[in-house]
């Protein structure tokens, strides 16, 4: 990328920013390819290849070369997520502010495709609850799929406008707003963003960011934390937003400890000296990012818990049958939606009731499946979950070629005398379900997830 290919006045707009070096920045865009990085799933340990660690993320790794992730069964099993390294810093912020032994309710407001949701979820324990919301309806399925792969039961996916969360006053302990922005931090990774950038768009994004933050403010409890991030370098979308939050709502800036060797530039907002953290290609091995953390000090309406006394009347024999598929079933609350059985950690039962009353939910915990007589028709979510009781189900191991056949939803060439529903596993990690019959195998991998592309020629 030549210097003149940046938008007009773009470099000039950054010239006075602390830590910005136009020579190293331009060189990184012109000569350095965007690095490839993954983040491993701590709940699904695997033999996935890892090279150099991302300095600010214990589960993050740079890869020396970019493999074909589509044709890696471990990717489909949810053993890792392909994520840009700079954005993993959000997990570092979360680890710095979370309180030990205190159950947290966390909202990722603009969550699709799910990188930051799975990042936050990796740092949470079963007592914490993650609500991953996506405003744009068409982006909800990919968010749901990625959280299904991650496999944890303490997650809820919603499809709501930020203003809808004002019904949940003081509900969340931590809210992440990875705000829609002008996208200059993605110039190297997505050159098309260059053509879309303009000063007018920066101002438009600034106004949108203020509106989103004002809408979500009531849902954050007093003393709670707001993590704010963009993939923009523009001060109007970053430090100026911090000043606005401090002036308008009385937020206090929170300093996040960083290692100077990481190459992250710590900045301050002009008026309130709020701490921000900038990532510049050329300084760090990653793309552009701005991130900050603020604490809510202003008074707000406290969250009023809602106890739902009208519990579902569930057939105890059916419930016992369903419970047999879950490890430690006494730790979980079981419920039905239409004919589907679902489960979530027992301690999140009342929170789920409140969310169901206030939001449009697309995923709640783990979908187990439907009962048909004495048989369970198991759901794909159950296969990928970390709570499935594998002792109660048949497992059929496959090699890599067979795994790709399965993930294509093709006929899998296997010799087996087993019959019935079976988990198809690769290196002991479930990929999904198949039904083994005397003369064939019915492949139940979801049609919408199947691999359609061809394996690249070596």
Contacts of 300 (CB under 8 A, 6+ apart): 169, 170, 217, 218, 220, 221, 222
* Tokens standing for residue 446: 């979801």
- Listed as own residue / partner, the contacts of 251-254 with beta carbons closer than 8 Å and 24 or more positions apart are 251/226, 251/294, 251/295, 251/296, 251/297, 251/298, 252/294, 252/295, 252/297, 253/292, 253/293, 253/294, 253/295, 254/97, 254/225, 254/293, 254/294, 254/295
Q: What angle do CA 287, 159, 60 make, to 5 degrees?
A: 30
366-372 vs 105-108, strand pairing mode: unpaired
- Terminal C-alpha separation, the chain: 28
For residue 375, give the 3-state DSSP assignment.
strand
CA distance 405 to 71: 10
Q: Is 246 a catalytic residue?
A: no
CA distance 225 to 264: 21
CA distance 331 to 241: 42
* Rg (alpha carbons) of the chain, rounded to whole number: 23
Given phi > 0 = left and psi -120 to 50 = alpha, else beta, which region is 177?
beta
CB 48 within 8 A of CB 429: no
Q: Active site residue: 57, 181, 205, 231, which one? A: 231
Q: What is the DSSP string of 437-453?
A: ETTEEEE-S-GGGS--S
Helical (H) or strand (E) element with 118: helix 115-122
List residues with catalytic annotation: 231
């Amino acid at each position: 990328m030549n210097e003149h290919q940046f938008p007009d006045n773009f470099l000039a707009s950054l010239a006075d920013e602390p830590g910005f070096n136009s020579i190293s920045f331009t060189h990184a865009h012109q000569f350095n390819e965007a690095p490839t990085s993954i983040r491993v799933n701590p709940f699904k340990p695997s033999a996935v290849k890892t090279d150099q660690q991302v300095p600010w993320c214990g589960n993050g790794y740079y890869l020396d070369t970019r493999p074909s992730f589509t044709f890696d069964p471990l990717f489909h099993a949810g053993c890792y997520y392909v994520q840009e390294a700079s954005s993993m810093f959000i997990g570092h912020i979360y680890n710095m502010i979370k309180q030990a032994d205190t159950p947290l309710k966390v909202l990722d407001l603009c969550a699709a495709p799910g990188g930051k949701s799975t990042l936050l979820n990796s740092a949470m324990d079963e007592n914490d609850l993650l609500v991953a919301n996506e405003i744009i309806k068409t982006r909800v399925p990919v968010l749901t799929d990625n959280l299904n792969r991650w496999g944890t039961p303490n997650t809820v996916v919603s499809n709501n406008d930020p203003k809808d969360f004002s019904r949940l006053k003081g509900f969340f302990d931590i809210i992440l707003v990875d705000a829609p922005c002008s996208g200059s931090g993605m110039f190297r990774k997505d050159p098309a963003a260059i053509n879309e950038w303009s000063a007018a768009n920066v101002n438009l994004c600034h106004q949108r960011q203020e509106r989103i933050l004002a809408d979500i403010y009531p849902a954050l409890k007093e003393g709670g934390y707001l993590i704010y991030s963009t993939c923009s370098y523009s001060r109007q979308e970053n430090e100026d937003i911090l000043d606005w939050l401090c002036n308008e709502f009385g937020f206090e800036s929170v300093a996040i400890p960083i290692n100077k060797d990481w190459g992250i530039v710590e900045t301050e907002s002009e008026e309130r000296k709020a701490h921000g953290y900038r990532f510049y290609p050329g300084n760090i091995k990653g793309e552009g990012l701005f991130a900050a953390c603020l604490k809510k000090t202003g008074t707000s309406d406290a969250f009023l818990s809602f106890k739902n006394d009208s519990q579902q009347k569930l057939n105890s024999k059916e419930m016992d049958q369903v419970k047999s598929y879950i490890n430690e079933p006494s730790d979980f609350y079981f419920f039905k939606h239409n004919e589907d059985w679902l489960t979530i950690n027992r301690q999140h039962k009342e929170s789920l009731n409140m969310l169901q009353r206030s939001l449009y939910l697309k995923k709640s915990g783990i979908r187990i499946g439907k009962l048909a007589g004495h048989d369970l028709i198991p759901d794909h979510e159950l296969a990928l979950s970390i709570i499935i009781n594998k002792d109660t189900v048949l497992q059929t191991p496959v090699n890599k070629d067979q795994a790709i056949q399965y993930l294509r939803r093709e006929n899998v060439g296997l010799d087996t005398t087993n019959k019935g529903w079976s988990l198809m596993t690769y290196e002991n990690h479930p990929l999904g379900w198949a039904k083994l019959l005397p003369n064939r195998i019915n492949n139940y991998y979801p049609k919408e997830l199947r691999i359609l592309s061809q394996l690249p020629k070596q």
